[in-house]
Amino acid sequence: MSHHVAVLISGAGSNLKALIEAQQAGQLAVEFSVVLSNRANALGLKHAAAAGIPTVVLDHNRYPDRESFDAAMVAALQPYAIDTVVLAGFMRILTPVFVEQFAGRLLNIHPSLLPLYRGLHTHRRALENNDQEHGCSIHFVSNVLDGGPIVAQALVPVLPGDDEDTLAQRVQTAEHLLYPQVLQWRALGQLALTDKGVLLDGNLLTAQGRQFAIAEGSHSLLALGGAHGQPS
C-alpha cells in the first residue's frame, strides 16, 4: 500500500529534489502525490513537473489572513488522501488551522541543531557564537515555531575559515541525506508521534531524536549513540 506524501515548497526545492532522487533510486518507498507552493515562480515546481508529480500553486497574497490561506491549503490537499506532509523550504508560518489538520503527519526540516537557533539566519548565528558543530533537525510540526518534537538531527563540523555560504552548503548536504531517511521511516510505519513522544520502531526517542553525522569521505549517514535506527 502506497504511502502518499505532499511536499510544500516556496523556493528552489533542493530537499524536494533530494527526496525525488532517493525515491527514483529505490531508497524511498513513497508516492509523491502533490507538490504545493505559495509562489508560482518557485524553481522546485520544475523538479516536480520533471518527475511527473502534480503541482498546486496557492498565492498567499490572495488571502486576507494566514488562517484562510491555511484552510485553502487543507482543501487543496484533501483529495490526495495524504499520509505525510513534508515541509521543504516552505517559508510560511503555519497556523493551527493547518497544523492540527495534519497533526502527527507533518514534518519540517530546520537548518540548526534545535532547540538552538529557531527562526532565520541560523548559520550566521552559529558562526557568531563560535559553535564547534552545527547541523539540521527534522521535527514533527507543532503550533510552536520550530518547536515540535524532534525526530532526527545530522551534525556537521564548523571548520576554521567557514563563512555563512560554506557552512550552509555543508548543512544542506546533511539535509539531503537526513530527510529521505526520516521519510522512509514514515513510509515503513516505523515512525510515529504519540502522547508519550516520538517513537521509532516502538522505542521512545530522546528529546534530540536520533542523531547522525556524515561519514567522512562519503555521502552517507553514520548513526551516533548506538545502532538503533541506522540507515539501511
Amino acid at 102: F
How far is residue 119 CA from its own chain's centroid?
14
In the chain, count H helices and then E strands. Answer: 6, 12
User: Which residues have C-beta within 8 Å of that of residue 116, sequence separation ≥ 6?
Assistant: 126
Would you tell me how many other CB atoms lie within 10 Å of the CB of residue 105? Answer: 18
Q: What angle do CA 10, 11, 17 make, to 5 degrees?
A: 110
Q: Which of 3, 110, 134, 139 is catalytic?
A: 110
Q: Is 110 an active-site residue? A: yes
| Pairing assessment for the beta strands 191-194 and 84-87 based on DSSP bridges | unpaired
Give catalytic residue positions.
Answer: 110
